[in-house]
Amino acid sequence: MKSRLQFAGHPIHAMVVGFPIGLYTTALVCDGLFLLLHDPFWFRMAYWAIAFGLVTHMSAALTGLPDFLAVMRERQEGHELHDLKGAQRVATSHLVFGVGLLVVQGLNLALRNGGEMPAGVSVAMPVIVNVIGAALVGLQGWYGGELVYRHHVGVELPGPASDESHGKHKGKKHS
């Protein structure tokens, strides 16, 4: 099933999901460095990585939503997906974990006191929430991979090829 939002034939959702994944992972690494080095700089960096991660996560969600809705609208007869119910279940799981991740990382951001070290308060809670967020990133990514690689959502599969139309040089006869 071809992606509903594309730029130059490439699915936009696939282009933008790397940003929140990378930013949330960066926040986790920064928390690890903070715990190791006790330098407040790393706590602040984790805060900003999460803040930008949330913004880019929203763009990923908005660009994935048309494909989710297309999967849900598919009907059993004449559908493009060979396992429609399975694709719908996986798409719903991907969405649920994505919304859960938004909530968890929003809480994570709120717990971080604007990036400043909270006076006399443990930083254990934001770090624990960040680890939970990392687990959700993994789960959501797993289901996203299932959608693409098992159910071919967002992928334009080639049609049956004739002898005269191989590759990008259609019309040229191959010897």
The pLDDT value recorded for residue 133 is: 98
The pLDDT value recorded for residue 168 is: 56
Cα–Cα dist 91/80, whole Å: 15
pLDDT band of residue 110 (cuts 50, 70, 90) is very high
Q: Is the pLDDT of residue 70 over 70?
A: yes
CA triple 7-84-154, angle to 5 deg: 10
The pLDDT value recorded for residue 165 is: 47
